[in-house]
Amino acid sequence: MKHVLVTGASGLLGLNLALTATQSGYQVTGWSGRHALVQTPFAAEQVDLTDLEGLPARIAALAPDVIIHCAALADIDQAEQHPGLAEKLNSQVPGVIAQAAKENGAQLVHISTDAVFDGARGDYRESDVPNPINTYARTKLAGEEAVAAAYPQALVARVNFYGWSASGQRSLAEFFYTHLRAEQTVNGFTDVYFSPLYARHLAQLLLLMVEKSLSGLYHVFSPQATSKYAFGVSLARQFGLDESLINPVSFADAGLSTPRPLNLSMNTEKLQTVLDAPLPSEQEGLQALYEDALAGLPDKLVAYLA
Ligand SMILES: NC(=O)c1ccc[n+]([C@@H]2O[C@H](COP(=O)([O-])OP(=O)(O)OC[C@H]3O[C@@H](n4cnc5c(N)ncnc54)[C@H](OP(=O)(O)O)[C@@H]3O)[C@@H](O)[C@H]2O)c1
C-alpha cells in the first residue's frame, strides 16, 4: 500500500484529497498548519511548514512514497497584504519539499494555479508564458520554478476547483450555496472566466496521474470555462435555489483592491491526450457536489476541525 503525504490537509483541496486517497486504499498522512484535525480516517499531524530547517528531517522520518503538496497561502488578498509570508510559503517551501522528495525517492505532486497567467487571452496551454499580476500569482510561479529546479521529475499541476471545505467558506460554490439558501442576493461576475473542477474529481484525477507516474507541467481543469455568474446560476439550478438572487455584475464595478486575471479559461488537451479519456464536465461536477451534500459531506468536514 502506497503511503501518501498530503500537505494542507485542513484546506479545501487537501482535505478532499486526503479523504479520497484514503477511500481509494492509500495509507494517508495529512499535515495541517494552525488547524488541528480530529477523528479523520487518515493520520493527521500539525506541522509548521515555515520551519524550513526542520522540514527535510520530518519528511525523511515519515518516508512517504508520494507527497502531494497542497499547502499554500492561497488567499489572494492575504498574500497581497503579507508578501513575505507568501514568498516563504508559496515559493520557498515548495523548493525545500521538492529537494526532500528527491532525496527520499518520493513522487511529488506540487499544486499550482491558473493565476500564473494574466487572463488577457484565455485558453492557456502549458507552453504559454505566464505573466502573474499579483503577489499570490508571482509567488506561486516562483514555487513552480523552485520545484522544477530541485526535482525535474516532479509533477506540477495547475488547478482550479470548488467544493465543500472544513471552514464551510473556502470555495465559490460554498459562497453561492450559503447565500442563496439564506435567500440573500449576491453578485456574480459576468466577465471573469475560470475552469474549475469539483474537488473530489480533481483529487481522483491527481491520484490517477500519480499512478501513471506523470511528471512535468500539466493543466488539470474543467474542459469547459464558465463565468463566475454563470457558475452561480448553474449551481442554483442544481440545488433548486433561486438564481434570480444572483446579480450579474462586471469585475470593474466590484472595486476589489488586488488585481485579478479576467479570462482563465484553460486548455487541457495535454492531459486529455495522456489519459485518453474525457475530463469531468461542469454538469458532472455540480451533480457530484450536490450528491455529496445530500450524503452529508459538508457537516462531516466541519466536524474534522478541532
Ligand atoms: N482555492 C482555489 O480555488 C485554488 C485555485 C487555484 C490553485 N489553488 C492552489 O491549490 C492549493 C490548495 O488550495 P486551497 O484553496 O485548498 O487552500 P486553503 O483552503 O486556503 O488551505 C491552505 C492549507 O495550507 C495550510 N497552511 C498554510 N500555512 C501553513 C503553514 N505555515 N504550515 C502548514 N500548513 C500551512 C493550511 O493549514 P492551516 O489552515 O491548518 O494553517 C491549509 O491546510 C494551493 O496550492 C493553492 O495555491 C487553489
- For residue 134, the SS3 value is coil
Angle at the Cα of 8 (from 78 to 4), degrees rounded to 5? 160
Per-residue pLDDT tens digits for 80-135: 999 999 999 999 999 999 999 999 999 999 999 999 999 999 999 999 999 999 99
pLDDT of residue 252: 83
The rounded percent of the chain whose pLDDT value lies above 90 is: 95
Q: Are 197 and 221 in contact (CB under 8 A)?
A: yes
The Å distance, Cα 32 to ligand 1 centre, comes to 9
**Cα–ligand 1 centroid distance for 48 (angstroms):** 13
Fold of 3-229+248-304: Rossmann fold (3.40.50)
Residue 305 main-chain phi, psi, to 5 deg? -85, 125
Average pLDDT over residues 262-270: 97
Instruction: Using the mean position of ligand 1's atoms as its centre, give its distance from the Cα of residue 185 in Å.
Output: 28
Residue of minimum CA distance from atom 7 in ligand 1: 113
Model pLDDT, residue 281: 95
As for ligand 1, residues whose beta carbon falls within 6 Å of it are 8-14, 32-35, 47-50, 70-72, 74, 89, 111, 113-114, 140, 159-161, 170
Nearest-CA residue for ligand 1 atom 46 is 74
Return the best residue to mutate from 5, 6, 20, 32 for the ligand 1 pocket (most ligand atoms within 8 A of CB).
Answer: 32
Of the pLDDT bands very low, low, confident and very high (cuts 50, 70, 90), residue 253 is: confident
Ligand 1 centroid distance, CA of 90 (Å): 10
Check residue 239 and give its pLDDT: 98
Residue 223: pLDDT over 90:
yes
- Is the CA virtual torsion 239, 261, 190, 124 positive or negative? negative
Q: How far is the CA of 71 from the centre of ligand 1 (A)?
A: 4
Q: pLDDT band for position 160 (50/70/90)?
A: very high
Mean local confidence (pLDDT), 18-34? 98
Looking at residue 92, its pLDDT comes to 98
**Residue entry with cell 472595486:** 255
Over the chain, what is the mean pLDDT? 97
At residue 257, the pLDDT reads 77
Contacts with 270 (C-beta within 8 Å, 6 or more apart), sequence order: 125, 126, 218, 219
Asked whether the beta carbons of 225 and 235 are under 8 A apart, the reply is no
Strands 107-113 and 186-189: unpaired
